[in-house]
Amino acid sequence: MWEHYYRDCHGIIFVIDSSDKLRLAVAREELDQLLAHPDVRERHVPILFFANKMDVRDAVTTVKCSAVLELSRVENKPWHICATNAITGEGLDEGITWLTDQIRDVLRFR
């Protein structure tokens, strides 16, 4: 149902469970669908990736998450990945600040 919101969005927050290595492949498929959607594909929509659950013992690093999701191929949109822990709030402020700054920049140049 998320695709119904893409047309009017100014930014996207994509949350990754960094403690679930098997679901990273599913997250990559979801990201591919999002990036291919007509309401997102040609727009300069910033994407914030929250690599959540960094407090879990075997959590994958943000570098590994970036590699698995192949974020380097996202060339026409600004993106940023933050290590987060939703329970403690660690990393959330950094990410939201980045996204807010990006949205301001995009709206300023419209």
Q: Tens digit of pLDDT for each residue in 37-79? A: 999 998 989 999 999 999 999 999 999 999 999 999 998 999 9
DSSP string, 4-42: GTGGG-S-EEEEEETT-HHHHHHHHHHHHHHHHSHHHHT
pLDDT digit string, tens, across residues 9-44: 999 999 999 999 899 999 999 999 999 999 999 898
Closest to 78 (Cα-Cα) out of 62, 96, 98, 63: 98
Q: Which domains does the chain have, with CATH numbers?
A: 2-108 (3.40.50.300)
